[in-house]
Amino acid sequence: GAGVSQSPRYKVAKRGQDVALRCDPISGHVSLFWYQQALGQGPEFLTYFQNEAQLDKSGLPSDRFFAERPEGSVSTLKIQRTQQEDSAVYLCASSLVRGGTYNEQFFGPGTRLTVL
Amino acid sequence: SQQGEEDPQALSIQEGENATMNCSYKTSINNLQWYRQNSGRGLVHLILIRSNEREKHSGRLRVTLDTSKKSSSLLITASRAADTASYFCATDEANSKLTFGKGITLSVRP
């Protein structure tokens, strides 16, 4: 079956511009995660949804970052007034169960955001 | 913040040799996972070991976990050129989110 898909794959934004990144999780997966990966670093957690509920947004770096998953499927990560330090790859992952012992996450290919 | 720290940061070996990568972490965990990332296929889950397990095998992969030392190792046996990638350990502290290390760059020379 299809894996996690993300769009766009690449996004170039001018500083101050708003961007929206989309994630389509694997069908039926309850949990959805967003991570930010800077160049040469490991992914860092941003936020987590269980169905449509945003249960953890502790990793969002500022109030310019906003994520939603209104129908418990597709999710959008929005970044307002982008800054150069927002340049990174944004990864989306989904998992079948609610977490815990068997929390294998399936990752999408990521969106590479470059802010000029 | 990143909890896991992998060691070494970079590893270069000849095809057919074994590759051993280590990971240390700081807090109590529910499970520890290893992922591989390359430009062609993104981040791929390799293996998960639970906190009450000490060793697990999957194909050419062997992972160990020592919770008393807060460390894990990943062994890839009989390496292939296709194993060339970055490898990350990630810890799950029972709150669902994963905390990744900075990664190890593995190069397998044909």
- Would you list which residues of chain A are within 8 Å, Cβ to Cβ, of chain B? 31, 33, 35, 40-45, 48, 50, 55-56, 59, 91, 93, 98-110
Are the C-beta atoms of residues B88 and A42 closer than 8 Å to each other?
yes
Question: Which tens digits make up the pLDDT trace of B4-44?
Answer: 678 888 999 999 999 999 999 998 888 899 999 987 667 99
Q: Under a CB-based contact definition with an 8 Å cutoff, are residues A67 and A45 in contact?
A: no
Q: Give how far B90 is from chain A: nearest CA, Å.
A: 9
Cα–Cα distance, A13 to A115 (Å, whole number) = 5
Q: How confident is the model at residue B3 (pLDDT cuts 50, 70, 90)?
A: low
Query: How far is the C-alpha of B1 from the C-alpha of B69, rounded, in Å?
Result: 20
Distance from CA of B30 to the nearest CA of A (A): 6
Spatial distance between the Cα atoms of B53 and B2, rounded to a whole number of angstroms: 23
**Residue of B92, B95, B94, B106 lying closest to B4 (CA atoms):** B92
Question: What confidence tens digit (pLDDT) does each residue in A16-65 have?
Answer: 999 999 999 999 999 999 999 998 899 999 999 999 999 999 999 999 99
Which class for A73: exposed (0-12), middle (13-18), buried (19 or more C-beta within 10 A)? middle
The Cα A94–Cα A102 span in angstroms is 13
Please answer whether residues B79 and B13 qualify as being in contact, where contact means their C-beta atoms are separated by less than 8 angstroms. Answer: yes
